[in-house]
Amino acid sequence: MNYTLHHLSHTDLDGYSCQMVSAHYFDSIRFYNSNYGKEINECFNQILATIQSSESQKHVILITDLNLTMDQAKEFESKVSICDKEIMMFVLDHHKTGQECADAFEWYYLDSSRCATKITYDFFSALYGKDEKLSHYVDVVNAVDIWLEDKPEFELGKVCMGLVSGAREVNKIMFPEENSKYIFALLSKAQEYFTCKEAHIALDDAIHGIKKSFFTTSKNDTLSNLVSAYNVILLTQNRDKMQISYKEYKGILTYNIGNVSVIGNDFLTANPDLDFFMDITSKKTISLRSNGKVDVSKMAAHIANGGGHHNASGGLLSNFKDAFIYDTIKSQVMSIITNKG
């Protein structure tokens, strides 16, 4: 296959599992994940921008486990048609609400009797060959996603579903590639328990250790400390892209990072030349941490009608509109700070 595959999928077990299937069959893949609504549009535009800047001329856009509206389907088809690269696009969906699009577009395939992972596996395995281990995994996902309670794989699927929904340690907006690698690693490790006696219980008991094994490097520690160390490394590697300023001070902006006290302070310790750490959430709240150089309580009061302590404060950026691409989030926050003077 001489095409570069751009695989956009949902953010649940079924969505990520579709991507695990495509990763089994292809090497040249870029993964994108989205919930429903306008987030799909933002991700699709990101895919097109990536294609336009690529040296490769041939691309495939695969959308799985996401039900497009008629307006989205029309818009995406139009944008692909005017792109100066060779692009094939197809959707593999299992939501009945996609029926109108499936009836209107030949590239939109719908089958509500199977989960999207099974549709994807059946599609690619028919072309490139079946795989027994992968087929078993697909049956586990299918059992829980379309709620087949009488299937022996159902309880195991429930544990896998919880594993994905609880995998919040790596932020998908700031670090989408690393987030995908993390979830794929968890699900790959989970399959080692599929042949255990009472596999669903064995896997459930092992989840904490599975997570820790991903983040552990030279020495063991609490999961919280391991996750913080991992995120500090990612943030440090991306600090130039994520750097913001307030008056004469320099800091870094994160989005929904979680565990701000630990990660924020660990990051500032590792990057003493930066003055503050700011995290903004989808609820418009901000959390600020400082290494002593700037009074973030005054900063919070100035830009977010907030307050707190010299080195730990918070507030609300009421003009902030939630977004799904980090650069869009950063430009908004910088604009708000600049307008505050």
183-197 confidence digits (pLDDT tens): 999 999 999 999 999
Q: Name the pLDDT band for 295 (thresholds 50, 70, 90).
A: very high
Q: What pLDDT does residue 340 have?
A: 83
Label residues 187-216 b or e (16+ Cβ within 10 Å = b). Answer: bebbbebbeeeebbebbbebbeebbeebbe
- Which residue intervals of the chain are DSSP H helices? 13-25, 38-53, 70-82, 99-104, 116-128, 132-145, 154-165, 176-190, 199-215, 223-237, 239-242, 260-270, 296-304, 326-340
- Could you give the angle at which helices 154-165 and 13-25 cross, rounded to 10 degrees? 100
By C-alpha distance, which of 5, 17, 60, 8 is closest to 35?
8
Q: Name the pLDDT band for 259 (thresholds 50, 70, 90).
A: confident
pLDDT tens sequence across 160-173: 999 999 999 999 99
SS3 labels along 81-145: HHCCCEEEEEEEECCHHHHHHHHHCCCEEECCCCCHHHHHHHHHHHHHCCCHHHHHHHHHHHHHH
Residue 279, pLDDT > 70, answer yes
Rounded mean pLDDT, 174-184? 97
255 φ, ψ (degrees, to nearest 5): -130, 120
Q: Catalogue all structural domains in the chain, each as residue range(s) with its CATH number.
A: 4-215 (3.90.1640), 241-340 (3.10.310.30)
Residues 200, 156 contacting (CB under 8 angstroms): yes
Tell me whether residue 150 is exposed, middle or buried, using C-beta atoms within 10 angstroms of its C-beta: 0 to 12, 13 to 18, 19 or more.
exposed
- Please state, for a pLDDT cut of 70, what percent of the chain lies above it: 99
Q: How far is CA 179 from CA 38, 64, 169, 264, in A?
A: 21, 18, 8, 19
pLDDT tens sequence across 200-257: 999 999 999 999 999 999 899 999 999 999 999 999 999 999 999 999 999 999 999 9
Residue 1, pLDDT > 60, answer no
The number of residues making up the chain comes to: 341
Q: What pLDDT does residue 133 have?
A: 96
**Cα 188 vs. chain centroid, distance in angstroms?**
17
Q: Give one word for 170, left, alpha or beta, with left for phi > 0 and alpha for psi -120 to 50.
A: beta
Residues 66, 34 contacting (CB under 8 angstroms): yes
pLDDT tens sequence across 4-15: 999 999 999 999
93 φ, ψ (degrees, to nearest 5): -125, 160
- Please state, for a pLDDT cut of 90, what percent of the chain lies above it: 94
Residues 68, 97 contacting (CB under 8 angstroms): no
pLDDT tens sequence across 299-308: 999 999 999 9
Q: Residue 35 corresponds to which tokens in the numbers above?
A: 């919930």
Q: Look up the pTM and report it.
A: 0.93
pLDDT tens sequence across 90-137: 999 999 999 999 999 999 999 999 999 999 999 999 999 999 999 999
Residue 149, pLDDT > 60, answer yes
Residue 140, pLDDT > 90, answer yes
Residue 286, pLDDT > 60, answer yes
Q: Name the pLDDT band for 2 (thresholds 50, 70, 90).
A: confident
Calpha distance 204→184 (Å, rounded): 17
Rounded mean pLDDT, 261-271? 95
Calpha distance 45→332 (Å, rounded): 19
Mean pLDDT of the residues in the chain:
96
Residues 49, 83 contacting (CB under 8 angstroms): no
